[in-house]
Amino acid sequence: MTRKLFGTDGVRGRANTYPMTAEMALRLGAAAGRYFRRDGSRAHRVVIGKDTRLSGYMIENALTAGFTSTGMNVLLLGPVPTPAVGLLTPSMRADVGVMISASHNPAEDNGIKLFGPDGFKLSDEAEAEIEALVASDIVPSDAANIGRAKRIDDGRFRYVERVKGTVPQGRRLDGLKVVLDCANGAAYRAAPEVLWELGADVTTIGVSPDGRNINAGVGSTAPEAAAARIREVGADVGLCLDGDGDRVILLDETGSVIDGDQIMALFADRWAAEGRLNARTLAATVMSNLGLERFLSDRQIALHRTPVGDRYVVEAMRAQGLNLGGEQSGHIVMTDYATTGDGLIAGLQFLAEMVAGGHRASELAHNFEKVPQLLKNVRFGDGRAPLDQAAVQAAIAAGEARLNGSGRLLIRKSGTEPLIRVMAEAEDEALMASVVDDIVAAVMAAA
């Protein structure tokens, strides 16, 4: 069964434009409600969280109407990070969890992510079944069995306590000067509370959401603001979260970026040495740098590569019993602590390592030398399929021949935006740039 509505991370698009309309959110809520109410012998409930986008109000209300129309009781968390939904869905004995967010995308976009009763994101197969229900005639409940909706005021506090519990008992962050950038997003209250309660000296930016400024010049996709603040206040480290709090980019004391590959390298090495890394294997996507692969190989740690998207990382981790994985973009998945990527937990584990060993951030951050990597994005129009064009396929084949095993080429369609991503890695940077430019030119001509 194929999926058209769902992408690599739920349903996503520009707010008030298909598929992110109130009408579609209502139908999606009703379809998911009907899917999870196949066992009609008991009461059913759904947990709904959201980030700080203005359109979140519209989508939250439409989803609530859809779910309650099929007899689901709705628990509304308000603005919380995505991993809080993953945590609270099983904790509150819900059948399904929903996060309303477009993650790192601009405020004009929004999205809907679904979690199963175990707190993990739904499989492709489950999403396909729900999508089929969206297209069908959804049978509503009778009037006597319409669901109720209730605001949950302490969801954020439950999440805060769980996150704090991932730091070893008795370890505090006293004396650590941290710049925290919350991207004007879902973690704007929870993240500062956690760091403050653990004793850190916190300077915050991106904590004044107005519905329209999420990810706007702040957060994991724009770490320059936090880097400048680090240099301004003389901070020891920076944590840059994205709009829904499921990814983090770290900054050392000079403001230099520490991406997800370097974070994963640190913890894979430490956990393997401590006997904590399940199967001595790290799960990461095809986007992770070749330098990470070489670093792990030198330490007899396996790297299992997955398609792009943290959900596919988690699926591989669950299938193989792994407990560490993630993406270069900053999704760090530690299933000992959470069911999905959690930027705040990953950042806290890094801070705990700094405190435990008295290390500077820069000493922990640069575990391997990256192989030069170049990524360019090409936007394409509706209904176009540039990668199917013969000229584009020929350009890709020519690029692979020119690299001749000396590097790596990855061309893919984004699962969240109408973009073709062209990425290459090679020691010869001039050759790499030439190969990428030739493929980009071919894609642009076909787009």
The residues that are catalytic are 103
**Alpha carbon distances (Å) from 376 to 258, 412, 414, 419:** 20, 11, 12, 10
Half-sphere exposure in the Cβ direction for 131 (13 Å, CA): 18
Hey, is 217 helix, strand or coil? coil
Give the span between the Cα atoms of 231 and 235, in whole angstroms.
Answer: 7
Give the span between the Cα atoms of 27 and 45, in whole angstroms.
Answer: 17
Q: Whose CA is closest to 65, among 117, 152, 133, 141?
A: 141
Give the span between the Cα atoms of 183 and 225, in whole angstroms.
Answer: 10
Pairing of strands 281-285, 302-306: parallel
Instruction: Enter the DSSP assignment of 310.
Output: H
> Per DSSP, what are the bridge partners of residue 100?
50, 112
Torsional class of 210: left (φ above 0), alpha (ψ -120 to 50), beta (otherwise) = alpha
Give the span between the Cα atoms of 447 and 438, in whole angstroms.
Answer: 14
Give the span between the Cα atoms of 418 and 421, in whole angstroms.
Answer: 10
> Per DSSP, what are the bridge partners of residue 359?
none
